[in-house]
A and B are shown apart, each in its own frame.
Chain A
Amino acid sequence: MNIVVCVKQVPDTWAERKLRPGDSTLDRESVDGVINELDEYAIEEGLRLAEAHGGEVTILTMGPQKAAESIRKALSMGCDKAVHLLDDGLAGSDSSQTSYALAQVLGQIGFDLVILGSESTDARTGLLAAMLAERLGVPQMSLASKVEVDGQAIRIERQTDYGYDKVEAGLPAVLSVVEKINEPRYPSFKGIMAAKKKPVQTLSLADAGIDPAMVGLASATTEVVSFAQRPPRQAGTVVKDEGDGGAKAAEYLAAQKFI
């Protein structure tokens, strides 16, 4: 099975993340980049499926030079090779444009199964799986908490607001996974050494047949009008429980008309 896992490099969630005053894009330079935590589950699921059914796992990342670090980490977890879509013309792309660019590359490299995380921790749109399925014209098997592949059939448990749906489709397909699905492995020492020799193919817009007019900030389909630091919440009242904490909390609720 030819599995492609889409991996995004994001600023570390624990660091302070900023938008740049000039163009309101995310400041990716000033903070450490890490693999989007939710993509680690996608990598793990890809590796497990390849282990069970045979085949290769390719990492696909669109992002600046710096994203190469995340690609190495993904390779050290056990993936076989990587494709890095790297071009200054991509800077500032929104999810629709990103889905176009990734779909172009996927069309070129081919796939049986594309696996994504449920969302990226910086953009948090959770749109990519649906957009890619739409663009590629393949089934959208999104938000899976369990996956089973059986020949050309794929079955998932799709997490819903009220529980889960059992969903089935035929390959090729786009799959996205939620964090309940597995426990991502840590890279082993052997894996880290091996990763240094694994092939990473770098593609420019021209290499991937991407129309430069359809990506990047200038042609984005949405724009940030303004942004501001949220004013800190007004400091509240904090009391220490001296045997009357519950009563004091109730008084507050009563004063605020909640009871």
Chain B
Amino acid sequence: MSEVLVLAEHTDGEVKKVTFELLTLARRFGEPAVVWAGSGAEAAKDRLGEFGAATVYVAAGPEFGEYVAGPKAEALAALVAEKSPAAVLVASTPEGKEVAGRLAIKTGSGVITDAVGLDEGLVAEQSIFGGAIVVQSRVKTGTPIIAVRPNSVTPQAEPGAAELVPLEVQVSDAAKGARITESVVAERGERPELTEASIVVSGGRGVGSAEQFALIERLADSLGAAVGASRAATDAGWYPHQFQVGQTGKTVAPQLYLAVGISGAIQHRAGMQTSKTIMVINKDSEAPIFELADFGVVGDLFNVVPQLVEEIGKHRQV
């Protein structure tokens, strides 16, 4: 059986949930093999094994964290040449897509981004034009390279050997053009990560100020949710940009998305339309976001949200 390569996403030794989702998908098309770029593979071995990784190829050099995209693409290209895998799966994050793009050029392969599902024959499902159209597509040339959006499948455990295999990669000078001199990590706090969270509570222009975003945070915390924001809110400086949901922010697909004081512009929808359940709180009954709502409340968020937080608290006690 051919291998399916999965590029692991990890920060500071912590494996991102999307890696387990990719492994769950990979098992359907071949023998799942993780490609681990950078340090920390030994510590992650057991976790990767829990989700069926048969092999973990480790490209441990420091250059994988020191340069933008290029070195990871070279490590993957070397493996593609050696192993002829059935497919390469990466997370459809900005960097994941860049690595996929470079790999596609190196290997003369086709690449599909933003897949939300994978069917027989490696046919990928995508959702385009702000979610209005669902497309099935596939790679015709070379090794299929598919970037899958986080939260598209539920990770399922299945034991695997997760045998560590060191990779010798000579990273070329061309791949070392863009050198990372410093990583600035914004404060994340205790909340779950936006793209991984099963519940996301987002606030928009209706929230009115940075101080009043505390109300959105309280609602999020009562549900164990991540906080998101519309571009109107991040542009106004009420909430940091890395929490923006939408076309030029993050794409989220949680079990539950709460849009509070957000009108539902197409660019916002593009980032949240595939959420399983959508709840809306908005004082304007004509706001387009209500078209997406499974449950909507027409009302002033400053009345509705505090009551909702209180009621959630009561439920938690019983």
Contact A239 to B241, CB < 8 A, known contacts A221-B142, A259-B223: no
Cα-based distance from A227 to B293 in the complex (angstroms): 24
Given contacts A13-B267, A140-B178, A245-B307, contact A252 B295 (CB under 8 A): yes
Which of A95, A161, A246 has a CB less than 8 Å from the CB of B101?
A95
Write out, one digit per residue, whether chain A residues 202-231 have a CB within 8 A of any chain B CB (1) or not (0).
Answer: 000000000000000000111111111110
Contact in complex: A130, B98 (CB < 8 Å) = yes
Contacts of B68 in A (CB 8 A): 139-142, 158, 165, 167
Taking the closest CB of chain B, its distance from the CB of A39, in whole angstroms, is 13
B112 interface residue, CB < 8 Å from A?
A: yes
Q: Counting CB contacts under 8 A, is A137 at the interface?
A: yes
CA distance A9 to B296 in the complex (A): 37
Please, how many angstroms separate the alpha-carbon atoms of A185 and B109 in the complex? Answer: 39
A125 to B114, alpha carbons, bound, how many Å? 8
B223 close to A233 (CB less than 8 A): no
Chain B residues numbered 222-255 whose CB sits less than 8 Å from any CB in chain A:
223, 241-242, 247-248, 250, 255
Q: Give the distance in Å from the alpha carbon of A197 to the alpha carbon of B291 in the complex.
A: 47
Given contacts A127-B97, A222-B112, A250-B311, contact A239 B298 (CB under 8 A): yes
Identify which of A42-50, A74-82, A172-180 touches chain B.
Answer: A172-180
A111 CA / B281 CA spacing, docked (Å): 50
Query: Which residue on A lies nearest to B255, using beta carbons?
Result: A258
Is A143 located at the chain interface by the 8 A CB criterion?
Answer: yes
**B310 lies within 8 A of chain A by Cβ:** yes
Indicate if the CB atoms of B241 and A180 lie closer than 8 Å. Answer: yes
Query: Is there a chain A Cβ closer than 8 Å to B214's Cβ?
Result: no
A17 touches B105 (CB 8 A): no
Q: Please give 12 more A-B residue pairs, beta carbons under 8 A apart, in addition to A17-B132, A139-B68, A166-B180.
A: A96-B104, A124-B113, A127-B101, A130-B99, A142-B94, A142-B98, A158-B68, A161-B242, A223-B137, A225-B123, A225-B136, A240-B299
Check if A160 sits within 8 Å of B183, measured CB to CB: yes
Contacts A165-B182, A258-B223; is A246 near B303 (CB within 8 Å)? yes
CB interface residues, B 43-68, toward A, < 8 Å = 68
Inter-subunit contact A167/B132 (CB<8 Å): no
Alpha-carbon distance A40/B112, docked complex (angstroms): 26
Q: Closest CB of chain B to A146's CB: distance in Å?
A: 11
Would you call A109 an interface residue if the criterion is a C-beta within 8 Å of the partner chain's C-beta atoms? no
B98 to chain A, nearest CB (A): 4
**Interface 1/0s, chain A 137-151, versus B by CB < 8 A?**
111111100000000
Q: Nearest CB to that of A96 among chain B residues?
A: B104
- Given A167-B180, A246-B310, decide whether A178 and B248 contact each other with a Cβ distance below 8 A: yes
B residues with a Cβ closer than 8 A to A are 11, 68-70, 73, 93-95, 97-102, 104-106, 109-114, 123, 127-142, 174, 177-186, 188, 195, 199, 223, 241-242, 247-248, 250, 255-256, 266-267, 270, 277-281, 285, 290-300, 303-312, 314-316
Q: A74-92: which have CB < 8 Å to B? A: none
Chain A: residues with Cβ within 8 Å of the partner, total of 84
Q: Which residue of A19, A170, A221, A238 contacts B140 across the interface (Cβ within 8 Å)? A: A221
Q: Does A129 make an interface contact (CB < 8 A)?
A: yes
Q: Are B185 and A162 within 8 A (Cβ)?
A: yes
Question: Does any Cβ of B come within 8 Å of A14's Cβ?
Answer: yes
9 examples of A-B residue contacts, CB within 8 angstroms: A96-B111, A127-B97, A161-B250, A164-B183, A169-B179, A223-B137, A236-B294, A249-B308, A250-B311
**Cβ–Cβ contact A14 & B188, under 8 A:** no
A70, chain B: closest CB distance, angstroms: 19
The answer to the question of A193 belonging to the interface, with a C-beta cut-off of 8 Å to chain B, is: no
| Chain B residues, Cβ within 8 Å of A29 | none
Q: Are A249 and B281 neighbours in the complex by a CB distance under 8 Å?
A: yes
- Indicate whether A116 reaches chain B with its CB closer than 8 angstroms: no
A246 touching B305 in the complex, CB below 8 Å, given contacts A130-B69, A130-B98, A169-B177? yes
- CB atoms of B123 and A220 under 8 A apart: no
The reply to whether B178 and A141 form a contact with Cβ atoms under 8 Å apart is yes
Within 8 Å by CB of A256, from B128, B270, B277, lies B277
> Pick the contact of A94 from B110, B299, B315 — CB < 8 Å?
B110
What is the minimal beta-carbon distance from B80 to any residue of chain A, in angstroms? 14
